[in-house]
Amino acid sequence: MKGHVIKELSREHMDKRQALALIDKYTQGNCTPAEKQLVEQHFFDFLNNRPELPSAEAIEKDNVEMSDLLQNYITNNKPAVKIKRIWPRIAAIAAAILLVISAGLYVKVHTSASLQMANDVAPGTNSATLTLANGKTIILNKAANGRLAMQGNVAVIKTAAGQLDYHAGKAINNELLYNTITTRRSEQYDVILSDGTHVWLDAASSIKFPVVFATKDRYVEITGEAYFEVAHDASKPFKVKSDGQTVEVLGTHFNINAYTDEPSAKTSLLEGRVKISGDKGQGEKILEPGDQALLTRDKISVSKTNTEADIAWKNGAFIFNDESLESIMRKVARWYDVDIVYDNVDKTQYFGGDMTRFVKVSQVLKKLELTGGVHFKVEGRRITVSK
C-alpha cells in the first residue's frame, strides 16, 4: 500500500497539503525509503534548476523559510518567486529534508555547481564470482537461476532473488569441499550457507567456506566486509577468520569490516554475543549488542557504535557519522570502482549525512559539494578531490 501511495504522489504534482505532510514525515524520520527518495530528489532537482539565489547576507534579511521553497517546488515543480530568511534554519531544514552531507558547519547552498565531469559512473550491482572446489568459476550475475552445481551431495542454487543457497547435505567420506565467493569493486552479493547462516558481502570482499560444516566448528574466512546472520547451533560454534582476528559466536547478527586499506578491523554486534580474539597477542574481548571492537596492531578496544551506520551498505545506503573525507572516499572507490586522487585538500575533515547507494556517483559527489568544503572532478574512473 505504501508503495502504491508513493507511485501516485510521484506521478503528478502534489497539492500543498500533501507536500507539507510529506516534508513533516521526512523531518520526523518516518518516511518509507521510496518517500525519502522522492523528497530528496525533489530538493536535489530544485537546487539544480532554481534561479540564482541572493547572497547569504541578503537572505539573512528576508522572511520566507527554506521549507516554503521546497514545498512550493514539490507542489508546482518551480521555485518560489521570493526567497526570504533561509539561512537561520538552513542547517536544520536542509539537513533534515536532504540529509545533506555537512562538515560540522552550516550547509551552504551554492549558486552554481562546481563538479566537473567527463562522464558519470553507475553504482555497483548484485554480482560476484563463485569458485567451486574443483577450481571452476561461475560469474553469478550471468548465471541462470536454478541449480548451478553439485558439491558433494549439496546442490548450489541461484534463487529468483539473485542469491546463492546451499541446500544442506552430508559430507561424502568426510571430505571437506570448500567454495569461495568473491566480489570485485562495484559488486555485492549474499549467500545462505548449508547450516542456514545468511552472509552478505560488500564490494571487494570474499568468503571461503566448507560446503558442509562437518567438523566441531563452523569455520569460514573472509576478506573485506561481510554481514552475518548466524544460524544458532550450540553444539557447533561459528568462527569467522579475518585480517588479524577471529570472531566466535553461537548465533548472532554482526558485521566485520576488515579491508586491508582501513586503519583497523571493525566488528559491530547487532544481536547476541561474540568473542573477538587477536591473532598477534592483542587479547580477547566480549561484545554486547551495540558494541564495536577495533583491532589494531597493539590492542582490541571496544566502544558503543551506530549499528545502523555500520550495516548501511547492506541496506543499500551510505550513512556517515562524523566520518573523515578519506574514509568516505574509500567507500566511494569500492562501490563505484573508481580511483581517488587528492589535490591539496584536508582528507581528515569530517562529514555527516546519508543517501542511497543506488545513484550515479555524480549525485553522491554533488551532495558532498553542497558543504562548500570540497570539490570533485570526474575523469573516466578517476575522481580528483580538491578544496
pLDDT for the residue numbered 322: 83
Number of structural domains (the chain) is 3
* 114 in a structural domain: no
* 120 in a structural domain: no
CATH of the domain at 352: 3.55.50.30
- Pair 280, 166 in one domain: yes
Q: Are 201 and 225 in contact (CB under 8 A)?
A: yes
Q: Tell me the β-bridge partners of 116.
A: 377
- Pair 141, 186 in one domain: yes
- Pair 149, 266 in one domain: yes
pLDDT for the residue numbered 351: 85
* 105 in a structural domain: no
* 118 in a structural domain: no
pLDDT for the residue numbered 20: 59
- Pair 335, 247 in one domain: no
Q: Which of 265, 293, 310 is the last residue of a domain?
A: 310
- Pair 142, 245 in one domain: yes
pLDDT for the residue numbered 172: 61
pLDDT by position in tens, the chain (length 387): 333 222 333 334 455 556 656 666 665 667 676 666 666 555 555 544 444 443 434 433 443 444 455 555 555 554 433 333 333 333 334 433 433 333 332 233 333 346 777 788 999 999 999 999 999 999 999 999 999 999 988 999 999 989 999 987 665 656 789 999 999 999 999 999 999 999 999 999 999 999 999 889 999 999 999 999 999 998 999 999 998 999 999 789 999 999 999 999 999 999 999 999 999 889 999 999 999 999 999 999 999 999 999 999 999 999 888 889 999 999 999 999 999 999 999 999 888 888 889 889 998 998 888 877 789 999 999 999 998
- Pair 193, 158 in one domain: yes
- Pair 323, 355 in one domain: yes
- Pair 188, 305 in one domain: yes
- Pair 233, 348 in one domain: no
- Pair 300, 330 in one domain: no
* 329 in a structural domain: yes
Q: Which of 79, 98, 117 is the last residue of a domain?
A: 98
Query: Residue 81 sits in which domain range?
Result: 2-98
Q: Which of 275, 292, 310 is the last residue of a domain?
A: 310
- Pair 133, 259 in one domain: yes
- Pair 22, 143 in one domain: no
